[in-house]
């Protein structure tokens, strides 16, 4: 147990680590060339200064009784950090769609159908190749837990936030190594995604696959928000009227709105647990929702909250940049604390599993990009595909960085398709409901039934893609008649 003073100092140290990560990023150019967020650098710094590295070296040199045997951080501080990802990830997902325009599904499909198909193909394929690798290699050779089959999608599509937020689920299912491996895979994904994506961009220019050849360095501050509502004078005037007599800071209002979204998500999750316990999950039945974390339902709670505010005429209360800052702070906490809490001993003890999952995941993403993207996208296939490649190996920001490397002026329309795709994508995979439920489904059903589910969905999205391809091929002839 720990008290609030310990929590305070844990986050003070975390803030200092973030400043240190920012300094190291500015001091060493190769951090900048990799586009690594300062939070990842800070998390790596915390890991190096913790008991696994600094503590291990001090113990080896001076013995187990040395002052630095546990690294620079006390056990209470590390305990706070270990519990932080599962809490703060709820804020990140609750804020995802607050303050954004949510068009009707039909309009999204018309504008981004190939992008949706490509992103879904990458995601479901990560489950398929992960399950096949576990059935054929990881289980028979290394004795890996079947839940390891879900780690590629959790770490690659979900990223550090999702991987850290799933720690409690892994522990409840008895796979205590899962969180460390997932966060490790997320790190492999974001680094390899940027390196491979940059190499592919250079290859695409040489081969003539990129129509927009202008190249310039993209700074992280240039990454735009997705579908953000434009701040018009009318919106600002309406917000001023709504806040006039409330005597409350706008930051507090927006934090309260994020809290409302989390609360709605919690109510939905509890209702699903109640229905499950009263029906198919009672008395030794098939239970899944008791292992599902809160954050994917918090995302749905955010969508519901935004819809309620729109209907009540209170949407102007949401200041999207402020909500984004709240989510950004929470995400920094998740990333730093998740990486700082990694057990290198666990990864070392599962090194074969870790390396094979990394290799299989990276290979699947690159091959699908090179084979499927030229077919599914009728024009600008490289620009439209590389954003999803980056997202499928790291985070959304990685995808946007790679997209802006090949299309800095957004002349291909790739960014719009990428942005609209998120509304069909995030609620299900990449940290959505299926991502959260996958470990429990594998634990309850087994690998083969989940392979049938994910394989069937992969075939479905391939089929939808081929329908779109055929429609596109018929379009020129139809217009010429």
Query: What's the pLDDT tens digit per position in 54-75?
Result: 888 888 888 777 888 778 898 8
Domain segments of the chain as ranges: 4-86+104-222+331-475, 233-323
Q: How confident is the model at residue 480 (pLDDT cuts 50, 70, 90)?
A: very low
Q: How confident is the model at residue 231 (pLDDT cuts 50, 70, 90)?
A: low
Q: How confident is the model at residue 207 (pLDDT cuts 50, 70, 90)?
A: confident
Per-residue pLDDT, averaged over 275-285, amounts to 77
pLDDT exceeds 60 at position 312: yes
Contact (CB, 8 A) for 115 and 417: yes
Per-residue pLDDT, averaged over 29-49, amounts to 82
Per-residue pLDDT, averaged over 213-231, amounts to 46
Q: What is the pTM of this model?
A: 0.81
pLDDT, the chain, mean:
84
Per-residue pLDDT, averaged over 12-25, amounts to 92
pLDDT at residue number 165: 84
Spatial separation of the C-alpha atoms in residues 435 and 426, rounded to whole Å: 10
Contact (CB, 8 A) for 438 and 154: yes
Contact (CB, 8 A) for 117 and 337: no
pLDDT exceeds 70 at position 220: no
- Of the listed ranges 175-179, 355-359, 389-393, 413-417, the least confidently predicted one is 413-417
pLDDT at residue number 41: 87
| Most confident region among 78-82, 136-140, 221-225, 276-280 by mean pLDDT | 136-140
pLDDT tens for each residue of 1-17: 668 899 999 999 999 99
Per-residue pLDDT, averaged over 426-430, amounts to 82
pLDDT at residue number 476: 59
Q: What phi and psi values does residue 100 have, to the nearest 5 degrees?
A: -110, 155
More confident: 422 or 82: 82
8-state DSSP, 65: T
Per-residue pLDDT, averaged over 218-237, amounts to 55
More confident: 261 or 232: 261
pLDDT exceeds 70 at position 146: yes
pLDDT at residue number 1: 64
pLDDT at residue number 289: 80
pLDDT at residue number 216: 43
Q: How far is CA 400 from the centre of its chain?
A: 13
State what percent of residues in the chain have pLDDT above 90: 35
pLDDT exceeds 80 at position 131: yes
State what percent of residues in the chain have pLDDT above 70: 91
More confident: 19 or 413: 19
SS percent in the chain: helix, strand, coil, step 5: 75, 0, 25
pLDDT at residue number 296: 83
pLDDT at residue number 277: 85
Q: How confident is the model at residue 446 (pLDDT cuts 50, 70, 90)?
A: very high
- Of the listed ranges 131-140, 169-178, 422-431, the least confidently predicted one is 422-431
pLDDT exceeds 80 at position 423: no
pLDDT at residue number 19: 94
């Amino acid at each position: 147990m720990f008290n609030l003073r310990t929590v305070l100092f844990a986050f003070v140290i975390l803030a200092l680590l973030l400043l240190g990560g920012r300094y190291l990023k500015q001091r060493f150019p190769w951090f900048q060339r990799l586009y690594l967020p300062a939070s990842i650098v800070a998390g790596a710094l915390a890991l190096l200064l913790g008991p696994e590295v600094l503590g291990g070296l001090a113990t080896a040199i001076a013995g187990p009784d040395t002052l630095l045997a546990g690294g620079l951080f006390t056990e209470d501080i590390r305990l706070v950090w270990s519990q932080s990802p599962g809490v703060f990830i709820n804020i990140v997902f609750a804020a995802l769609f607050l303050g954004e325009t949510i068009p009707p599904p039909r309009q999204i499909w018309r504008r981004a159908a190939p992008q949706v198909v490509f992103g879904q193909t990458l995601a479901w394929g990560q489950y398929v190749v992960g399950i096949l690798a576990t059935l054929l290699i990881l289980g028979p050779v290394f004795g890996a837990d079947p839940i390891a089959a879900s780690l590629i999608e959790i770490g690659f599509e979900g990223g550090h936030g999702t991987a850290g937020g799933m720690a409690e689920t892994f522990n409840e299912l008895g796979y205590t190594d899962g969180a460390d491996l997932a966060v490790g895979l997320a790190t492999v994904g974001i680094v390899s995604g940027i390196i491979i994506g940059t190499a592919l961009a250079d290859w695409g220019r040489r081969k003539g696959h990129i129509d927009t050849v202008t190249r310039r360095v993209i700074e992280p501050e240039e990454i735009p928000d997705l579908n953000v509502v434009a701040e018009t004078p009318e919106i600002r005037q309406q917000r001023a009227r709504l806040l006039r007599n409330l005597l409350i800071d706008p930051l507090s209002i927006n934090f309260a709105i994020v809290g409302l979204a989390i609360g709605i998500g919690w109510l939905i999750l509890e209702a699903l647990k109640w229905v499950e316990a009263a029906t198919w999950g009672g008395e030794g039945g098939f239970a899944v929702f008791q292992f599902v974390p809160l954050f994917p339902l918090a995302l749905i709670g955010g969508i519901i909250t935004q819809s309620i505010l729109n209907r009540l005429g209170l949407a102007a209360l949401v200041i999207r940049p402020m909500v984004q800052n709240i989510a950004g702070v929470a995400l920094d906490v998740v990333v730093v604390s998740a990486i700082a809490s990694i057990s290198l001993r666990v990864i070392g003890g599962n090194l074969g599993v870790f390396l094979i999952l990394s290799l299989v995941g990276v290979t699947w993403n690159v091959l699908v990009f090179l084979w499927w993207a030229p077919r599914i996208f009728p024009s600008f296939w490289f620009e439209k595909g590389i954003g999803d490649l980056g997202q499928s190996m790291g985070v959304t920001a990685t995808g946007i960085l790679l997209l802006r490397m090949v299309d800095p002026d957004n002349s291909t329309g790739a960014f719009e398709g990428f942005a609209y795709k998120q509304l069909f994508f995030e609620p299900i995979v990449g940290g959505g409901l299926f991502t959260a439920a996958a470990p429990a489904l594998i634990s309850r059903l087994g690998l083969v039934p989940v392979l049938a589910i994910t394989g069937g969905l992969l075939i479905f999205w391939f089929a939808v893609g081929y329908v779109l391809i055929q429609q596109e091929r018929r379009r020129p002839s139809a217009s010429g008649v």
